[in-house]
Chains A and B, each alone.
Chain A
Amino acid sequence: EVQLVESGEGLVQPGSSMKLSCVASGFTFSNYGMNWIRQAPKKGLEWIALIYYDSSSKYYADSVKGRFTISRDNSKNTLYLEMNSLRSEDTAMYYCAKLDNNYWYFDFWGPGTMVTVSS
C-alpha cells in the first residue's frame, strides 16, 4: 500500500525558514517523480514544485521560485521542501504527491502538514 507521510508542521514568523519532509513507503520511491502541492485555508489547490525521480530536473511555481527548494534522498525514501523568506501568503496545508510515470497525474497524496506564517 502506497503511503506518504509529511512532517514539519509549525508556526513561524514572516521572513523565517522551515523544512518539510515526506516519507514514502509501499512503492519504489527512487522510480517516481514527486511533487509538493499546497492549499491555503478555505482556498483551492496550488501545485508548487516537482522533482524528477533522479533529481535531474526540478520545477517550481512562480509564487515560490527562488524561495523554496525541493530535494529528495532516495536512500531514505524521503522528499523535502526547504522554504525560505516565508510570507503570510505561504500559510497553507502542504501535501506531497506521487507522480504517475505513464500519465503524469498525481496518483497518491499524503495527509498533509500545516504551515502557518504569522507574527
Chain B
Amino acid sequence: DIQMTQSPSFLSASVGERVTLSCRASQNINKYLDWYQQKLGEAPKLLIYNTNNLHTGIPSRFSGSGSGTDYTLTISSLQPEDVATYFCLQRNSWPYTFGAGTKLELK
C-alpha cells in the first residue's frame, strides 16, 4: 500500500496569513492527490482533486500543487472558518490511502 505522510501534524497561524500544508507519498502517485477538510464533529469535505482542481463551491483562497511524490495545499489568506483538520488522499492505486492529517488552528 502507498503510505501518505503529512506535515506538519499541527499548525497554528493568524487570520490573513498564508498557510502551506504538505503531503508526501511513498511512491509516485501521478498527481492523483486530493485534499479534504474536516471540521470538528463533521464529515470530511472535498476541497481539491487531482492535485490542483478546486471542487465545486470551494473558495479560491485554497489551491494545490505538486507532482511525483510531493504535494502542497495552500490557503492564501487564512480565515477563521478554515480551522479544521486537513487530510490528503492518494487515488493512484487501490487501496486508496489517506494521510494522518494536519490540524490547523488560529494563533
> Which residues of A are interface residues toward B (Cβ below 8 A)?
43-47, 50, 59, 61-62, 95, 100, 103-112
Contact = CB atoms under 8 A, between A and B. Distances in A.
Majority DSSP secondary structure for residues of B touching A: loop
The bracket for how many chain B residues form the interface is: 20 to 34
A106 B97 contact: no
Contacts, number: 49
A44 B95 contact: no
Interface stretch (B13-21, B22-30, B69-77, B98-106): B98-106
A119 B36 CA distance: 34
Contacts of B98: 44-47
Given A46-B98, A47-B98, A103-B91, 7 more contacts: A45-B36, A45-B87, A47-B95, A61-B95, A95-B44, A105-B34, A105-B46
B50 interface: yes
B42 interface: yes
Contacts of A109: 43-45
B61 interface: no
B101 A44 contact: yes
Contacts of A104: 91
Contacts of A61: 95
Contacts of B95: 47, 59, 61-62
Q: Which 7 A-B pairs have the closest CB atoms?
A: A109-B43, A45-B98, A44-B100, A105-B49, A47-B96, A105-B34, A61-B95
